[in-house]
Amino acid sequence: MATVTYDKASRIYPGSERPAVNELNLEIGDVEFLVLVGPSGCGKSTSLRMLAGLEDVDRGRILINEKDVTHLPPKSRDIAMVFQNYALYPHMTVYENMAFALKLRKTPKSEIDRAVKEAAALLQLEEYLSRKPKALSGGQRQRVAMGRAIVRQPQVFLMDEPLSNLDAKLRVQTRSQIASLQAKLGVTTVYVTHDQVEAMTMGHRVAVMLDGVLQQVDTPRALYDTPGNVFVAGFMGSPAMNIKTVPLNETGAHFGALNIPLTREQVAAAREGGDGKVTVGFRPEAADVVGESADALPIVVDLVEDLGSDANVYGHADLPGGSERFVVRTERRNMPHMGETVYIRPQTTALHVFNAGSGIRI
């Protein structure tokens, strides 16, 4: 069992002025499943590799179980890493791949056999133990890579986009297996992905990064319901939140003919550094499609995405400053047609309001 602490940890690559990871402060609890998520180049994989000992820490510290491991080699950190590309030895069988690390430790053969067979049973790999990796599917190879990590019984599992090489259906299936496996084994796990759906469905907590800086860390539900800034609001959720910066008046946000009311406190906070504007967001499911009305926003439908049980309606509306795109979710029986004009009204109880200058939640 282990805790992990990033204490103002930074990584600056030679020749680069901007840190790849900038003063990362993050506490990961014992037995926690923490997901690092963000767009490409945000520093999430670098953060994981710093913890693994594969990247230097130029400033700050990293601790595992309150022990400073900042300058320890990877083999001395008691971690096991699962890579995106499986990293299996092609000339070895599944059994030999899973047993390899234990053989290097000179573990007795009987213990190796027990550990490999237990992990194989856990991962439903018993019938593949004598096969070589080339005879396995992508999902099976990924399970072998996980089995190799499990038999080592490390303090911490590190997983770097382990599902990105799998097809969509297998990815959904495998992520549920990983989440239930982590709960069963009770091992602290740090998991990197660029897929926010993966992050929302797997992590106990999710840490969102951008340009090497930690933006927010919280439970998936809290990130979805109360994003701390505009970036987190737009990144978490699929389809993405409708976020628009519009003129601010005495009573609220001015969406063309539609005025969205804000509280006095929100209007006052938006004025500070907002340059007369406010940024307002609402989720696709937090807007009602209504009949033609003066207090609703007219949207010209560009695309209807039929999801079976419901539909996503993509369209555009003319706002001050130009045309803006919107997406709303509606019941399937109310699906409009392309080119049709529909009227939407955001639910005032589900609005997200941000300062237009700083992007911070109000």
How many Cβ atoms are within 10 Å of 166's Cβ, its own excluded? 18
Alpha-carbon dihedral angle through residues 90, 93, 98, 102, given to the nearest 10 degrees: -100
Tally DSSP H helices, then E strands, for the chain. 9, 20
> Token pair 């699962």 is at which residue?
82
Q: Spell out the domains of the chain, with CATH numbers in brackets.
A: 4-231 (3.40.50.300), 241-355 (2.40.50.140)
Alpha helices in 236-284 (DSSP H): 264-271
Distance CA 145, CA 86 (A): 6
Token duo for residue 296: 């609703």
What type of residue is 146?
A: M
Q: What is the DSSP letter of 299?
A: E
| Contact (CB, 8 A) for 52 and 79 | yes
Q: What angle do CA 85, 164, 147 make, to 5 degrees?
A: 55
Distance CA 225, CA 138 (A): 35
Longest dimension (CA), the chain: 78
Exposure string of 323-333, with b = 16+ CB inside 10 Å and e = fewer, is ebebbbbbeee
Token duo for residue 202: 């797997």
Please report the pLDDT score of residue 154 as a whole number: 93
Residue range 286-296, pLDDT digits in tens = 999 988 888 89
Expressed in angstroms, the distance from the first to the final Cα of the chain is 39
Distance CA 193, CA 34 (A): 11
Please report the pLDDT score of residue 291 as a whole number: 85
Alpha helices in the chain (DSSP H): 44-52, 94-104, 109-122, 138-150, 168-185, 196-202, 220-225, 230-235, 264-271
Token duo for residue 166: 């799998």
Task: Identify the segments of the chain with pLDDT beneath 50.
Answer: none
